[in-house]
Amino acid sequence: MADREAKRIKNVEQYEALRDQGASKQKAARIANAKNPGKKGGKNDPYEEWTREELYQKAREIGIEGRSSMNKADLKKALRRG
Protein backbone atom coordinates (compact mmCIF):
# COMPACT_ATOMS: atom_id res chain seq x y z
CA MET A 1 0.00 0.00 0.00
CA ALA A 2 1.34 3.46 -0.86
CA ASP A 3 2.34 5.75 2.02
CA ARG A 4 -0.30 8.26 0.94
CA GLU A 5 -3.04 5.63 1.19
CA ALA A 6 -1.73 4.25 4.49
CA LYS A 7 -2.05 7.65 6.14
CA ARG A 8 -5.78 7.71 5.36
CA ILE A 9 -6.48 4.18 6.61
CA LYS A 10 -7.16 3.97 10.35
CA ASN A 11 -6.99 0.18 10.67
CA VAL A 12 -4.37 -1.01 8.18
CA GLU A 13 -4.51 -4.66 9.29
CA GLN A 14 -8.26 -4.81 8.74
CA TYR A 15 -7.88 -3.03 5.39
CA GLU A 16 -5.28 -5.53 4.19
CA ALA A 17 -7.37 -8.49 5.37
CA LEU A 18 -10.41 -7.21 3.49
CA ARG A 19 -8.34 -6.64 0.34
CA ASP A 20 -7.00 -10.21 0.63
CA GLN A 21 -10.62 -11.42 0.79
CA GLY A 22 -11.36 -9.62 -2.47
CA ALA A 23 -12.97 -6.38 -1.24
CA SER A 24 -12.44 -3.30 -3.41
CA LYS A 25 -10.05 -0.62 -2.20
CA GLN A 26 -12.95 1.73 -1.52
CA LYS A 27 -15.01 -0.81 0.42
CA ALA A 28 -12.01 -1.99 2.44
CA ALA A 29 -11.11 1.61 3.30
CA ARG A 30 -14.69 2.41 4.31
CA ILE A 31 -14.87 -0.54 6.67
CA ALA A 32 -11.37 -0.03 8.08
CA ASN A 33 -12.10 3.65 8.74
CA ALA A 34 -15.55 3.16 10.28
CA LYS A 35 -15.88 3.78 14.00
CA ASN A 36 -18.02 0.67 14.65
CA PRO A 37 -17.96 -1.37 11.43
CA GLY A 38 -19.79 -4.41 12.77
CA LYS A 39 -22.24 -2.59 14.98
CA LYS A 40 -25.87 -2.29 14.00
CA GLY A 41 -28.19 -0.01 15.83
CA GLY A 42 -30.01 2.63 13.86
CA LYS A 43 -29.00 5.40 16.22
CA ASN A 44 -28.32 7.81 13.36
CA ASP A 45 -31.11 9.80 11.75
CA PRO A 46 -32.14 8.70 8.28
CA TYR A 47 -29.94 10.33 5.65
CA GLU A 48 -32.93 12.35 4.45
CA GLU A 49 -32.72 14.39 7.64
CA TRP A 50 -28.98 15.08 7.31
CA THR A 51 -27.59 18.23 5.73
CA ARG A 52 -25.31 18.00 2.72
CA GLU A 53 -22.38 18.98 4.97
CA GLU A 54 -23.17 16.14 7.41
CA LEU A 55 -23.40 13.68 4.52
CA TYR A 56 -20.14 15.01 3.09
CA GLN A 57 -18.34 14.62 6.45
CA LYS A 58 -19.61 11.03 6.80
CA ALA A 59 -18.46 10.27 3.25
CA ARG A 60 -15.08 11.78 4.09
CA GLU A 61 -14.85 9.73 7.29
CA ILE A 62 -15.36 6.46 5.45
CA GLY A 63 -13.32 7.35 2.38
CA ILE A 64 -15.82 7.72 -0.45
CA GLU A 65 -13.99 9.01 -3.50
CA GLY A 66 -15.42 11.86 -5.57
CA ARG A 67 -17.46 13.19 -2.67
CA SER A 68 -16.53 16.84 -3.21
CA SER A 69 -18.37 16.94 -6.54
CA MET A 70 -21.46 15.10 -5.25
CA ASN A 71 -24.75 16.75 -4.40
CA LYS A 72 -26.89 15.68 -1.45
CA ALA A 73 -28.71 12.94 -3.40
CA ASP A 74 -25.44 11.51 -4.73
CA LEU A 75 -23.91 11.48 -1.26
CA LYS A 76 -26.91 9.60 0.15
CA LYS A 77 -26.66 7.01 -2.65
CA ALA A 78 -22.92 6.55 -2.12
CA LEU A 79 -23.32 6.17 1.64
CA ARG A 80 -26.09 3.62 1.22
CA ARG A 81 -24.02 1.54 -1.19
CA GLY A 82 -21.59 1.15 1.67
Mean pLDDT by 10 residues, the chain (82 residues): 64 89 88 71 75 94 93 93 78
Distance CA 30, CA 48 (A): 21
pTM of the full predicted structure? 0.49
**What is the pLDDT, as a whole number, of residue 45?**
65
**What is the pLDDT, as a whole number, of residue 65?**
92
**What is the pLDDT, as a whole number, of residue 68?**
94
Distance CA 81, CA 6 (A): 23
Distance CA 66, CA 79 (A): 12
**What is the pLDDT, as a whole number, of residue 26?**
87
Distance CA 39, CA 42 (A): 9
What are the backbone dihedrals phi and psi of residue 19, each rounded to the nearest 5 degrees, phi first?
Answer: -65, -40
Question: What is the distance of C-alpha 63 from the center of its chain?
Answer: 4
